[in-house]
């Protein structure tokens, strides 16, 4: 059975070329290992870059996009499978159901929302899947600082903080996933 990994990332490319390179590298690495990409179904930014990278390397891509974004013509036109849902909540639920693990690349509010929600679901016992952040150019260091402060102040447990796995490179992301039984 093919393993699937959900990647949360920006619908913009970001300010640094290294973010786009990381999305390309992750997409190629996933395709080479036979890992299906599950993502938000968009054609723009890092989302479009990783989808294109997986497809160009011969891999499979499953998009999950809300109808409102289809209507704004933001859907990627060439995916293996594109699921259209009614709400952002349905999108996150279906992406989680279709995936054996989660990777965060740099992104904005939507990416932060998705990452926090998926870790919250793990905290609540709704899943035990790995969550790995590709900390490209130290992008997630400020988030880690906030999490550490929340632990210090008694709002987040050390166990919940440890769910945010850090990877300084795409190679390290793939090593962590492999250690979790994802090729």
Q: Cα(183)–Cα(178) distance, rounded to whole angstroms? A: 5
pLDDT at res. 70:
86
**Closest-CA residue to 43 (of 52, 56, 30):** 52
Domain boundaries, given as residue ranges, for the chain: 4-179
Tokens of 66: 């809300």
- 27-66 pLDDT, tens digit each: 999 999 999 999 999 999 999 999 999 999 999 999 999 9
Instruction: Tell me which architecture the domain covering 4-179 has in CATH.
Output: 3-Layer(aba) Sandwich (3.40)
User: How far is residue 144 CA from its own chain's centroid?
Assistant: 17
Tens of pLDDT along 90-127?
999 999 999 999 999 999 999 999 999 999 999 999 99
């Amino acid at each position: 059975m093919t393993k699937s990994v959900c990647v949360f990332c920006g619908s913009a490319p970001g300010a640094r070329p290294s973010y786009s390179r990381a999305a390309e590298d992750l997409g190629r690495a996933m395709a080479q290992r036979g890992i299906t990409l599950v993502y938000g179904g968009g054609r723009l930014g890092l989302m479009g870059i990783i989808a294109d990278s997986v497809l160009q390397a011969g891999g499979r891509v499953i998009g999950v996009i809300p109808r409102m974004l289809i209507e704004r013509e933001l859907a990627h036109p060439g995916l293996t499978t594109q699921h259209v849902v009614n709400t952002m909540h349905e999108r996150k639920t279906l992406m989680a159901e279709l995936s054996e693990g989660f990777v965060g690349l740099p992104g904005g509010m939507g990416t932060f929302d998705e990452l926090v929600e998926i870790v919250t679901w793990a905290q609540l016992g709704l899943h035990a899947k790995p969550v790995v952040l590709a900390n490209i150019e130290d992008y997630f260091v400020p988030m880690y600082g906030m999490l550490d402060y929340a632990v210090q102040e008694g709002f987040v447990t050390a166990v919940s903080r440890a769910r945010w796995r850090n990877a300084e490179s795409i190679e390290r992301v793939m090593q962590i996933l492999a250690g979790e039984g994802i090729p």
